[in-house]
Structure 1
Amino acid sequence: MPIEDAFPQGTPVWTDLQSADPPAAATYYRSLFDWEVSPPSADSGGFSLASGRGVPIAALGPLPSDDVPTTWTVYFSVDDLEAATVAAADAGGSVLLEPGEPVPGIRLAIVADPAGAVFGLWQRKEQGDPWLRDEPGAVDWLELVASDPASTFPFYESVLGVGISEMRVGSEPYGLFDVGPTSVAGAYRSDGTDPAHWLVYFNVADLDAAIVRATELGGTLRTEPLSAPGVGRWAEIVDPQGAGFALLEPEPEPS
């Protein structure tokens, strides 16, 4: 049940949901994951903070404009926000939101990789807030989903400074983004029917029960449960406002 408070360059640092109906989204995820959700405030740009055991997990807030779909956004830590944003443009990506401080104390930019997958760059304060990970209700894994993820690896190496390695999931190659000896995110080759995107996996203790709860609350099961040795069981869900995410029941640790 780690509480992360150190975020070297290239590691995931945060995730947020921007929704067309933030109160409804807060109700959905609070009920699904048993989150504590604070009221939105002007100081936070209209975002609510979702926590577990008093430790931050995610933020829930409004869409920046009507032409942006409800979506989860993943943010990666960078040491120099301006340099990373320039690197994103130079490496064939797009800058969707220039570096700035939309909320006091938070410096970020939003970019897209050459395949179109959108994510955030975040330059944290030296002593930032902790992030709850890898326990039920918290973010467990983050994954780039694209028809040819390997074509974007040079982009991520340039922008985030990550290394790239590979494992097998069944018969399929599975890319890994590495910071030092630690794999911090994955990359999966899709069938190409969906636009490239980053997918957030939330840890659950019982996948089948979580799927029932997610759909009873108004979500939609997007993929039937899948499994892989050494990983666990997972399924993708679409929330009532249209944002996709995944539920992951990790394989138990060997006793």
Structure 2
Amino acid sequence: MPIIESFPQGTPIWADLQSPDPQGAAGFYGRLLDWDVTPADSETGGYALASRHGVPVAAVGPLPEAPGSGSMWTTYFAVGDCDAAARAVTASGGSVLLEPSELLPGVRLAIVADPAGAVFGLWQEETGSPWLREEPGAVDWVELVEAGCESSFDFYETVLGVGVSQMAMGDAAYYLFEVGEKSVAGALEPAAALPAHWLVYLNVADLDAAVARLTEFGGATLGEQASAPGVGRWIDAVDPFGAAFALLEPEPEPA
């Protein structure tokens, strides 16, 4: 089970969900992904903490107070200095939606948006907490979905210190954000007109079974299933409270 405990600058370090019904959302994902959910308290900043095998995977909390905020998943990236990174956001054409502050003990974070409006988080922590990844029920991948995404790459290189490379994905171009030699996130242009956003892929062992549970529990799929060699099968989805995400069944490792 991949338990990540080291988070170099620019690496995804956490993901959480803001929902108009945090308790209902926690119940939905708990049943969908077999989460163990600890009720919200002050130590978790009012968020319910989800885990599998005793290792944290995500958190679920209320909508922020900002006008017009909707239910959404937020991906956070590790930074060495949250305040400096927030200043780089505005200097590079982005916006700061939540100023840097210590909302969790030992964690300084901010919520920001890139120049096209894709929202993400900055997360500064002295010692990284363990995060379960790339296992059923956990976050597998995160991806910037943005028309003209190439125009934002300089922004991410400046704010997060990542590199960017390109690879083929069928007939379309697919981009990778890299920290050192490791690919940590993806980016692509959507086929249809969509607001710029960061998409969280949640790992499932059986996509068809997961889709059946999704619809049974009140969620819905968006579009058709897709697949790619070396990646697996996936489908975009929405939970009963309006938050978009994706379900991914990774391709089995070669024997």
**Shorter-chain TM band:** over 0.9
Is 1:143 matched with 2:147? no
Unpaired segments ≥5 residues, structure 2: none
Is 1:87 matched with 2:88? yes
- State the one-letter code of the partner of 1:185: A
Separation (CA, whole Å) in 2 of partners of 1:99 and 1:222: 34
Is 1:160 matched with 2:147? no
Separation (CA, whole Å) in 1 of partners of 2:129 and 2:230: 31
- Write the deviation string for residues 140-188 of structure 1: whole angstroms up to 9, x where unpaired: 0000001111110000000000000011110111010000000000001
Conservation of the 8 A alpha-carbon contact between 1:146 and 1:192: no
- State the one-letter code of the partner of 1:91: S
Runs of 4+ in 1 over 6 A off after TM superposition: none
2:18 alignment partner in structure 1: 18
Deviation at 1:40, TM superposition (A): 1.1
Separation (CA, whole Å) in 2 of partners of 1:173 and 1:48: 37
1:252 alignment partner in structure 2: 252
SS of 1:201's equivalent? strand
Separation (CA, whole Å) in 2 of partners of 1:161 and 1:192: 29
2:205 alignment partner in structure 1: 205
Separation (CA, whole Å) in 2 of partners of 1:241 and 1:75: 21
2:173 alignment partner in structure 1: 173
TM-score of the superposition, structure 2-length normalised? Answer: 0.98
Separation (CA, whole Å) in 1 of partners of 2:227 and 2:139: 18
What number of residue pairs does the alignment pair up? 254
1:233 alignment partner in structure 2: 233
- State the one-letter code of the partner of 2:121: G
2:107 alignment partner in structure 1: 106
- State the one-letter code of the partner of 1:139: V
Is 1:75 matched with 2:76? yes
1:125 alignment partner in structure 2: 126
| Residue range with higher mean Cα deviation, 39-48 or 236-245 | 39-48
Counterpart mapping for 1:28-47 below 5 A: 28-47=28-47
2:215 alignment partner in structure 1: 215
Percent identical residues: 62
Deviation at 1:192, TM superposition (A): 4.8
SS of 1:224's equivalent? strand
SS of 1:242's equivalent? coil
Separation (CA, whole Å) in 1 of partners of 2:163 and 2:193: 28
- State the one-letter code of the partner of 1:217: F
RMSD of aligned C-alpha atoms?
Answer: 0.9
Separation (CA, whole Å) in 2 of partners of 1:125 and 1:69: 31
SS of 2:224's equivalent? coil
Separation (CA, whole Å) in 1 of partners of 2:155 and 2:43: 34
- State the one-letter code of the partner of 1:69: G
Separation (CA, whole Å) in 2 of partners of 1:64 and 1:173: 34
SS of 2:64's equivalent? coil
- State the one-letter code of the partner of 1:189: E
| Residue range with higher mean Cα deviation, 175-184 or 57-66 | 57-66
SS of 1:254's equivalent? coil
